[in-house]
Amino acid sequence: MIDPRALRTFHQVCQTGSISAAARSLNISQPSVSAAIAQLETRLGGRLFERTRTGIVLTAEGEALAARARMLDHLLRDAEEDVAATRAGLSAPLRVGGTPGALVSLLPRALALMEAQHPRIMLNVVERPDRDLLAMLRDGEIDLAFVTTGIEPPAPDMEERTLARDPFALIVGRANDSLPDRFSLREAAKLRWVLPEAQGAFRRQVDALFLAAGVAVPTDAVRCDSLLTTKAIVRSSTRVTILPMQVSAAELSIGVLRAIALEEASFERSIGARWLKGRSLSPLAAMLLSQLAA
């Protein structure tokens, strides 16, 4: 069996980029770090990295072990925080990530549901692109990821559940009060746009709306992945965007933005959660999924 202390030492070498830096970080001698690495290599029967003038370069075996070392580091961190939370009378920490629109659509409702049963909780939230969220789930950095679902099958090591659906609309500011309450994307060329930049599921859905209308995605477009900035640009200019209704609910309710029905919106955006297959969810994460599904 691998010595977990040696694995944590290896993780620190990966994090710092060299044996000497890992030794300083761990406050131990360089020979001790080298001995721990040698022990791992003997146990596993292969080289974990090569030393260069600028630091270390992981081998294929080293890359595989580094992923497990990160998971162990996060597991031990979680154990410490769970005990500290329990001592303070709090629920065990729940870490969630998500794409901007999915978080806006699901997290406020999720938080209200959780606090109804657990008034004192520890919740950490990070906003990331789809690709980064998969890596964070695999490394154990987050328990759940809120994302756009239904575009393509999840990765083989992921579970996915759709929790809500939200219709798309053309979102405009007061400068576009003359636009009708229903709009065809075949007239897209006459408008100026703000559209998503990242090559994720949300952008693919928006692009699909233009494809359904038989028109090219507009080139006169500001590309922006910040929902806050997108809505601010639309609110203060003649530019328009396409967003799910729930994402714009706050601005729509006070009248600074207006939603116009899209004739080509033949499908709704679906949003939900992903988690690592085979990994036991914490009681708080499992309860959150159950309540949102209900």
Angle in degrees, CA 10, 13, 19, rounded to 5: 115
- Which residue, 263, 257, 265, 241, is CA-closest to 183? 263
Tell which CATH classification among 3.50.50.60, 1.10.10.10, 3.60.21.10, 3.40.50.10490 matches the domain 4-73. 1.10.10.10
What pLDDT score was predicted for residue 84? 62
What pLDDT score was predicted for residue 217? 92
pLDDT classification of 228: cutoffs 50, 70, 90: very high
Highest mean pLDDT: which range of 83-97, 149-163, 203-217, 232-246: 232-246
Tell which CATH classification among 2.40.10.340, 3.40.190.290, 3.60.15.10, 3.40.50.2000 matches the domain 168-267. 3.40.190.290
Under CATH, which number does the domain 90-165+271-293 receive? 3.40.190.10
Average pLDDT of the chain, as a whole number: 86
**Sequence ranges of the chain with CATH classification 3.40.190.10:** 90-165+271-293
**Model pTM above 0.85:** no
- Inform me whether the pLDDT recorded for 73 exceeds 80: no
- Inform me whether the pLDDT recorded for 179 exceeds 90: yes
> Bridge partners of 146?
98, 273
> Bridge partners of 240?
193
Specify burial of residue 142 (Cβ count, 10 A radius: 0-12, 13-18, 19+). Answer: buried
What pLDDT score was predicted for residue 242? 95
Cβ pair 267, 211 in contact under 8 A: no
Cα–Cα distance measured from residue 158 to residue 31, given in angstroms and rounded to the nearest whole number? 40
- Inform me whether the pLDDT recorded for 102 exceeds 60: yes
The DSSP code for 282 is P
**Sequence ranges of the chain with CATH classification 1.10.10.10:** 4-73
What pLDDT score was predicted for residue 82? 65
Cβ pair 10, 65 in contact under 8 A: yes
- Inform me whether the pLDDT recorded for 49 exceeds 60: yes
What pLDDT score was predicted for residue 193? 96
**Sequence ranges of the chain with CATH classification 3.40.190.290:** 168-267
